[in-house]
Amino acid sequence: MTAPGTAPAPASSSAAAASPLALALRLLRPFWRLVLLSTLMGTLGGIATALLLAVINRALRGEGDMVSFAWAFGGLCLAALLGQGAAGLGSAIVGQKVVVAVRRELVAHILTAPIARLERLRVHRLMATLGGDVDALSGFSLVLSGLGVAVAITCGCLGYLVLLSPPLFLVTLLVLGLGVGGHARMRRLGQARFAAARAAEDDLQRHYRAITEGAKELRLNRPRRIRLFHADLEATITRIAKLRLRGLGVFLGANLFGSLALFAVIGGILLMTRAAPEAIGVEDVSGFVLVLLFMKGPMQQILGALPSLGRAQIALRRIAELGAAGQEGGDLPGLAPGMGEGAVPMPAEITLEAVSYRFPESAAGPGFTLGPLTLTLRRGESVVITGENGCGKTTLIKLILGLYQPTAGRVLLDGRPVRAGEWDEYRQLFSAVFADYHLFDDGMAEGRQAAEAARLLDAFDLATKTALKDGRFTTTDLSAGERKRLALILLALEGRPIVVFDEWAAEQDPGFRHRFYHTVLPDLKRQGRTVIVVSHDEGYFDCADRRIVLKNGKLAG
Ligand SMILES: Nc1ncnc2c1ncn2[C@@H]1O[C@H](COP(=O)(O)OP(=O)(O)OP(=O)(O)O)[C@@H](O)[C@H]1O
């Protein structure tokens, strides 16, 4: 381990994404060459399409000879297809690369964001972003290629219209401008419906968690099951569908309005031609109408892609919000391959100096403050932390473990304060089995560690249930007490200098409970490790060197 203070990760621009636009630009920046190339190819395709229309128009007027028409037609067809194809492929690649970058970055954010922030965000909201928002972005990336080509063709056509007749172009621009303005207003309405539907997705994820994690309880409690099904799930699902439908309806109306503007231009120009045939050449008008009708396809493609763009914008906002969770030390701190594999030196002591930690009062609860308190944990000692339910024991160990950073006071490692950017290094000193622990079954080395694992499995009556094979346990489908014993074995194998148990013995039968306090803890201590145990087992408090009693968030006695 590098000593705290010497290994802060570099500061990063990705630490906090400010807005969806900033996020989109940042995501596109690494692929700017490809973006530029597809834009150029799209422009080439658009210009070739416009020229193709000019050639067709000339041919319809009977201008030019057959041979030059055939060459120009063939060459421009090829250029248009090539440009469109290359632009489509380029934007499809960029789209997928962006989705990969977003997925990677989101996962990295979750792995590195402060625990307190993740606890506030709640799992169901994280899942909604990891699933729905990334899917929305992915969906948009699929229409992106067609959209790019459609924009290029539309621009090429508009360019040709200017050449064909500047006055008619101005009229077209005016009417289309009105159409676009009206469309934008309606689109905002549709966007608001999509945003409301997205907010309801968070609720849906919460209900999904309830039906999967609470499956057993729901089988037992019919009224709750019926309530969850009808009042929560069905209602939320229907609400989302209604909001989406209303959003899509508005978008559809907006698109029809856009098409109406195009028809209005065509109708208006034809009427003007009839009214003043001498002022506007009939051939110009037929060319104009031909181009406008041709433009309708790409324009509708653009309008059709807007709902998808709308959802992607909302998704980007959510992703940016999650990104703003902040990290503890820069660009993907603590995620570089090979990091943290070295031996971790043992500190002589860790001191919490006048620390406090505050859960602010909120709609969800009255708030709670731990501390201010001062305590020192020394190398090789065993400490039991005890106190009534809700007095702050788990909060205290989260502070000791560096999972929460104190709202006031300092944590000192051998007398030196742990500074911002050093917490991830600091946390590598510890192994812990939390009350709500997750059992990871992999990452075991073979050889000496395998022999030690076999010995421990035997000692904890698990040798007949599971075994270490290819660096992971063959099964973790065990009883609650057995799983917790396996978690203890993993902790022992990790070899970290400080080990923390949050009410480990709660599920164990008297025999294992006795063995935990009288054999496991002394063994860990003999290895020179510091042992911290959160416990309500009064009969075993004497097994530890020292007892820390908490009362209402303060040290008692
Ligand atoms: N994430 C949180 N947000 C807001 N308040 C919290 C949060 N976690 C805990 N609290 C509050 O902080 C107080 C202390 O909680 P903590 O889990 O540290 O208690 P504890 O002593 O470990 O309790 P127990 O013996 O029941 O495990 C509780 O009153 C709880 O309501």
State which of 368, 404, 437 you would mutate to test the pocket of ligand 1, scoring each by most atoms of that ligand within 8 A of its C-beta. Answer: 368
Interface confidence, given as ipTM, is 0.97
- Other CB atoms within 10 Å distance of the CB of residue 14: 16
CA of 392 to the centre of ligand 1 (A): 6
Beta strands in 329-446 (DSSP E): 349-359, 368-378, 382-387, 408-413, 416-417, 430-433
Are residues 372 and 298 both part of a single domain? no
Decide if 342 is inside a domain.
no
Residue 114 shares a structural domain with residue 51:
yes
Residues 306 and 358 in one domain: no
Are residue 406 and residue 312 in the same domain, yes or no? no
Q: What is the pLDDT of residue 361?
A: 83
Q: Within a 10 A sphere around the Cβ of 334, how many other Cβ atoms?
A: 20
Q: Is the beta carbon of 395 within 6 A of some atom in ligand 1? A: yes
Residue 127 CA, ligand 1 centroid: distance in Å:
24
Whether residues 88 and 172 share a domain: the answer is yes
Please indicate, yes or no, if residue 73 is contained in any of the structural domains: yes
How far, in Å, CA of 285 to CA of 508, rounded?
88
What's the pLDDT score for residue 336?
A: 62
Q: Is 169 in the pocket of ligand 1 (CB under 6 A)?
A: no
Task: Measure the CA–CA gap between 113 and 259, rounded to whole angstroms.
Answer: 47
Which tokens go with 385?
Answer: 């932390």
CATH number at residue 526: 3.40.50.300
- Co-location of 250 and 353 in the same domain: no
Average confidence (pLDDT) per 10 residues, the chain, 557 residues: 36 46 78 86 85 86 85 93 87 85 82 83 80 80 75 85 85 84 83 89 90 87 90 94 92 84 85 76 78 85 80 81 59 56 73 94 83 92 94 95 94 91 89 89 68 86 86 86 91 89 88 90 91 91 91 88
Say yes or no: 239 and 385 in one domain: no
What is the layout of strands, in order, in the sheet containing 416-417?
368-378, 349-359, 408-413, 416-417
In a domain, 7, yes or no: no
Indicate whether 122 and 238 sit together in one domain: yes
pTM > 0.90 = no
**Does residue 434 have its Cβ closer than 6 Å to ligand 1?**
no
Q: What is the pLDDT of residue 332?
A: 46
In a domain, 1, yes or no: no
Provide the pairing of β-strand 349-359 with 408-413: antiparallel
Q: Which atom of ligand 1 is nearest to the CA of 396?
A: 18
Same domain, 137 and 206: yes
Q: Is the CB of 366 under 6 A from ligand 1?
A: no
Tell me if 218 is assigned to some domain: yes
The domain in which residue 208 lies consists of 17-323
Using the atom order of ligand 1, give the atom closest to the CA of residue 550: 21
Shared-domain flag, residues 106 and 194 = yes
Number of domains the chain contains: 2
Are both 358 and 312 inside the same structural domain? no
Instruction: Indicate the top mutation candidate among 359, 401, 403 to test ligand 1's pocket, ranked by most ligand atoms within 8 A of CB.
Output: 359
Q: Domain end: 307, 323, 339, which one?
A: 323
Q: Does 404 lie in the same domain as 274? A: no
| Closest ligand 1 atom to Cα of 120 | 1
Residue 389 is assigned to a structural domain of this protein: yes
Q: How far apart are CA 243 and CA 310, in angstroms?
A: 14
CATH number at residue 58: 1.20.1560.10
Residue 2: per-residue pLDDT:
39
- Give residue 155 CA to ligand 1 midpoint distance, Å: 60
Query: Both tokens of residue 544?
Result: 């530890």
